[in-house]
Amino acid sequence: MGGGSVAVVGGSIAGCAVALAVARGGAERVTVFERAAGALQKRGTGVTLHSSRYGELEAAGYVDAAMPWGELRRRVWTVRDGEAPLGRAIAAQPFPFRAYAWGSLWRELRRRVPESVVYRPDAAVCALEPDADGVTVQLAGGERERFDAVVGADGYRSVVRETMFPGLLPEYSGYLGWRGSSPAPWGRGPRGAGRDGTAAESASVTGVTDVMDAMDVAGAADVAAAGGAVDVMDARTVVFPGGHCVMYRIPGAGHGDPLNWVLYTVPPQLPGPQQDLRTPVSLPPGALAPELTGYLRDLVARNFPPYWAECVLRTPVESTLIQPIYDLEVPHYAAGRLLLAGDAATVARPHIGGGSVKALQDAWSLETAWRAGGDWREVLDAYDADRTAVGATLVGLGRRLGRAQVEETPDWSAMREADLEAWWQEQHRGSDRTSGFGGHAVSR
Ligand SMILES: Cc1cc2nc3c(=O)[nH]c(=O)nc-3n(C[C@H](O)[C@H](O)[C@H](O)COP(=O)(O)OP(=O)(O)OC[C@H]3O[C@@H](n4cnc5c(N)ncnc54)[C@H](O)[C@@H]3O)c2cc1C
């Protein structure tokens, strides 16, 4: 289908990718309305993309091989073991992911949005008026403009979704993700090709047994020195009763690669409006109640191996943020001339490791539908059929992983490698083969 005008509400990962998709599909006029006034790249911390999903997206032209990335190869599940600085490794699993600074992923996508697309920052959409063959967009300043179709890429509190399905809100899971990044404990690690084309440096990766041995030996060393045994290509999952914390390095800008961490657990019951997390909200850095940061710090100090506790605790309090964890499923990705993409359509718990992959695939799917369809109806129906089912599957997987890793955690300290592997397989039982950890695989 050629021609047509499209408004994209939201100019983050999904919004930039959708603008690229419809422009490549042949839309005549594309406008992105982004509420934020400044560039988004300075916000956000780390994001990972599964290597094979990345490969598909790169071939489809949605990610750029030149983005600086850090290679991750394994995930080491770690539990506190007395005062042993690095704790005890329960197991190490393959973890073929690429780590990015969120800002570099956004910047590259933004750069790929063609010049013909109008990207309007500081343009909050406050209302939409659908009619038989188009939609009028109203901005907060009162300006109105009509388009043939509108794509909501406006995140989990989407105004587009509210127009399509009034009252359909993300459902609070009952726990939070605390996020932060701390100064590099290991300097600058090996990385993938950067814009200058430098190839990934090779680094020796120790076997599972080597890592476990190194961790035991480190019990006698002091906490700071223990970091020498850490392989920078390992992601770490520190587990504790009632939650876990995922840590990995992200490519830094010259001063070493920071350690990105996200800790999931149920927050304490606190009075006050800020703590009512049942309705979608996330608190930016610096806005956390002292009771929440105090709770986090105490939990980390009590439950983490000393070295990893130190890594998290040296994150400046004012740069720590929280993200309540929600589930969101929509009955359709398209209705009339309104469409949804990214978090506006589906929020699967981050344990699936595939939120950004899904957002990029939504755009890719829309481009495919656009190229194959002869009219709006065909394009929208094909997109809806492709993405609604994928979204529902990922939400289901996220719920199962959240239950096992946060809500009903096993006795981690009693686990050995085989126990962890069996527990992990159990969480994936019944999963659609194409939609597992790391997100949906398009071509499998
Ligand atoms: C600033 C920022 C930092 C992030 N950092 C990380 C991170 O470090 N790690 C990670 O894994 N994920 C991060 N995410 C989330 C991650 O980008 C998403 O889960 C995923 O990529 C899907 O993104 P999305 O584009 O669908 O939604 P989002 O990234 O939430 O983007 C929605 C966009 O819509 C805009 N918007 C909302 N309402 C309106 C409106 N009414 N009118 C106009 N614009 C509107 C918002 O300003 C925002 O830019 C971040 C998101 C943002 C916005």
Q: What is the pLDDT of residues 371-383, one digit of tens each?
A: 999 999 999 999 9
C-alpha 340 to ligand 1 mean position (Å): 14
Look at the chain and report how many structural domains it folds into: 1
Cβ atoms 185, 257 nearer than 8 A: no
Q: Choose one of 8, 9, 13 to mutate for the ligand 1 pocket test, by most ligand atoms within 8 angstroms of C-beta.
A: 13
Q: Which atom of ligand 1 is the closest one to the Cα of 260?
A: 8
Q: What percent of the chain has pLDDT over 90?
A: 64
Q: What's the mean pLDDT in 179-207? A: 49
Mean pLDDT is highest, among 20-34, 226-240, 421-435, for: 20-34
pLDDT value for 117? 98
Mean pLDDT of the chain: 85
- pLDDT above 50: residue 440: yes
Which uninterrupted H or E stretch holds 334?
strand 334-335
Q: What's the mean pLDDT in 345-369? A: 95
Nearest CA to ligand 1 atom 20: 356
- pLDDT above 90: residue 434: no
User: Which residues approach ligand 1 with their CB closer than 6 A?
Assistant: 9-15, 33-36, 40, 43-47, 102, 124-125, 153-155, 159, 342-344, 355-356, 359
Confidence of residue 316 (pLDDT cuts 50, 70, 90): confident
Q: What are the residue ranges of helices labelled H in 134-182?
A: 159-164
Give burial (CB, 10 Å; 0-12/13-18/19+) of 23. buried
CATH number, domain containing residue 76: 3.50.50.60
CA of 400: how far to CAs of 85, 193, 429, in Å? 31, 35, 10
C-alpha 109 to ligand 1 mean position (Å): 13
pLDDT digits (tens, 9 = 90+) for 2-21: 789 999 999 999 999 999 99
Backbone angles phi, psi at 42, to 5 degrees: -80, -10
Q: What's the mean pLDDT in 115-138? A: 97
Cβ atoms 113, 16 nearer than 8 A: yes
d(C-alpha 320, C-alpha 301), whole Å: 16
Q: What is the CB neighbour count within 10 angstroms for residue 347?
A: 26
pLDDT value for 151? 98
C-alpha 148 to ligand 1 mean position (Å): 24
Cβ atoms 15, 8 nearer than 8 A: yes
What own/partner pairs with CB < 8 Å and gap ≥ 24 does 135-143 have? 135/7, 135/336, 135/337, 135/338, 137/7, 137/9, 137/33, 139/33
C-alpha 13 to ligand 1 mean position (Å): 7
- In terms of residue numbers, what domain contains 431? 5-440
